[in-house]
Amino acid sequence: MDKSPYLWIYLSENTRRRNKIMHIIYYTLIFILISLPVRANERFLDIQEVKSKNGLTAWLVEDHSLPIIAMQFSFKGSGSINDPAEKQGRSKLLSNTLDEGAGNIDSQNFQKKLRDNSIALGFSNSRDHFNGHLKTLTRYKEEAFNLLNLALTKPKFDKEPIERMKQANISRIRSSLTNPKWIAARIQNDLIYKGHPYALNSGGTISSLQNLTADDLREFKDNYLTKDRLIIGVMGDITKEELQTQLDRIFGDLPDKQKNIQEMPAPEHKNGVYFYQKNIPQTVINISFPAFDRKDPDYYAAQVFNYILGGGGFGSRLMEQAREKEGMTYGIYSSLDFLDNAQKLYISTSTKNDTVPRMLEIIDQEIKRIKTEGITDKELQNAKDYITGSLPLSLTSTNKIAKLLISLQKNERPLNYLDQYKNNINSITKEDVLRVAQRILKEEKINTVLVGKSSQKNNITILKELPNVQ
C-alpha cells in the first residue's frame, strides 16, 4: 500500500538519460571508495550530528552532487507494541492514513501534490517503532517539508480513506491466510512471545481493524509521535545550517513527551514442536531459538556464526547439506532477528510432506555439529570477507544511507561505528563462533512450527486455530 512511489519530475529523454548515467557513476564511485581500507585518520562515512535551535537532533551526510534530499525518521518505542489486543492494527492503520489528507487538503489533492512535485512520502509501523520517509528533488523541498509537517501534525482522518485502508488491510490478512509461510510466522510469534504484546498481530485482526475509529488514530498520534522519541537521518543536498532550521519547521509542532510509557519485560521463549494442518504439497518448517541483543559482546561473533550456519545462502552449512547434497529443498536459511525486548535466531525452510522427518534430522545434525566441532579456518574467512564486503552495499543510494543513519541511532551506536565495524568483524575467532553457537543453540529452548500435511507425528502439539487473525 505504498501510495506515493518516488516519481522523477518530467524531463526530456536526453536529460533523464544523462542524469541516470551520472547517478550510476556517482554511486559506483561511492561503492569503490568506501570499499577501500579506511585509514586511521579517515572516516568511513562523514556523518554530522545536527542540533536544531529547539533541541531536535539529526544525523546528516551531506552530498551536493545530485539535487536530491532523502530523510528517514523513526519514533523509537512507538510501534505496535503499544496497541492493546482489542485495537490490534491501530499503528498500522495510522501509517496508512497520515498521508491521506492533512490541514485543509483532502486525500485526493494531498496525493496529487505529492505526484505533481515528485515527492515520495510514506509511513510504516513495526513492532517497536513508528517510521516515516521523505524523498524529494531539492527544487521541491519547501513543498515536501510542508506536506510532511501537515501529515504529522494535522492529519484529517476523513471517513473515506480510513474505511478504504481498513478494507485494504483486511484483504491483506485474508490473502495471507493462503500463505503457509505467513501462517507459520504468525503461529510462532504467538508461541514464543505468549503473554507479551509481541505476540499480537502488528497488522491487526479482521475484527479489530473493523472497530478502529479516527479517535483511536488521533490518540495514538498524540501520545506516541512525540519529539522525545524522534530519531532522524538525512542524506543529500542540504547543509547542516539549513537542516537545523528545517528540523524545527517540520517536527517542532509535535508534542514534547510520550505519554503512557510502559516497561516491557522480555517474553518467555516457549519450546516444543507444533503442527498446523494445511492441505499443501510441501510443509513449511520454522525453528526458533532465543538469542541476545546488539549490545552483547558476542554480537559480532553472532553475525559470523549465523552466516556460516544458514545466513550465507549457498555458502552456508544448512544449504549445502539440505539442498546441494540431499536435494530436499529449494532453500533453507537462518537469520538473527533483533527486537527491543526479544531477540531470536530462526531457521526457515520447506520440503515435501514425506521428507519432513529427514529434514528435521539434517537441521538437528548441523546444529549439533557446529556446537561441538566448531568451524573451519576457511569458513571463518569466507564469512568475514562477505560480511565486511557487503557493508558498502548498504550505502549505494540516498535512501539506504539515510536508513542506515536511523538504524545506528536506534541501536545507540556512536558516530564512528562504521569506522570500527570491519575491525570488529575481522577480530572474531573460531573460538568466539563456537561459544556463540553453544550460547544460542540450546536444545531445551528450541521452538519448531510445522505448517502443511506432514507425516511427522511423534511428540507434536496439534494446533487447530490461528491466533490473532479473525
Q: Residue 23: its pLDDT value, please? A: 55
Q: Residue 396: its pLDDT value, please? A: 86
Q: What average pLDDT does range 283-308 have in this prediction?
A: 97
How big is the CA angle at 67 (ends 64 and 73), to the nearest 5 degrees?
85
Q: Answer yes or no: is pLDDT of 464 > 80.
A: yes
User: Domains of the chain, with CATH numbers?
Assistant: 43-251 (3.30.830.10), 272-463 (3.30.830.10)
426-460 pLDDT tens trace: 999 999 999 999 999 999 999 999 999 965 666 78
Q: What is the 3-state secondary structure (H, E, C) of 124-188?
A: EECCCCEEEEEEEEHHHHHHHHHHHHHHHHCECCCHHHHHHHHHHHHHHHHHHCCCHHHHHHHHH
Q: What average pLDDT does range 101-128 have in this prediction?
A: 97
3-class SS at 287?
strand
Q: Answer yes or no: is pLDDT of 145 > 80.
A: yes
Q: What average pLDDT does range 78-102 have in this prediction?
A: 97
165-210 pLDDT tens trace: 999 999 999 999 999 999 999 999 999 999 999 999 999 999 999 9
Q: Answer yes or no: is pLDDT of 22 > 80.
A: no
Q: Residue 141: its pLDDT value, please? A: 98
Amino acid at 155: P
Mean pLDDT rounded to a whole number for the chain: 91
Q: What average pLDDT does range 324-340 have in this prediction?
A: 96
- pLDDT band at 7; cut points 50, 70, 90: very low
Q: Residue 5: its pLDDT value, please? A: 38
Q: Answer yes or no: is pLDDT of 101 > 50.
A: yes
Look up residue 43 and give its three cell numbers: 572516516
Report the 10 Å Cβ neighbour count for 321. 17
Q: What average pLDDT does range 299-305 have in this prediction?
A: 98
- pLDDT band at 239; cut points 50, 70, 90: very high
Q: Answer yes or no: is pLDDT of 11 > 70.
A: no
Q: Residue 266: its pLDDT value, please? A: 79
Report the 10 Å Cβ neighbour count for 214. 15
Q: Answer yes or no: is pLDDT of 259 > 90.
A: no
How big is the CA angle at 414 (ends 410 and 418), to the nearest 5 degrees?
95
Share of the chain above pLDDT 90, in %: 83
> CA neighbours within 13 Å on the CB side: how many for 128?
17
Q: Residue 166: its pLDDT value, please? A: 98
Q: Residue 264: its pLDDT value, please? A: 74
CA dihedral 319, 321, 323, 326 (to 10 degrees): -170
Q: Answer yes or no: is pLDDT of 41 > 60.
A: no
Q: Residue 24: its pLDDT value, please? A: 56
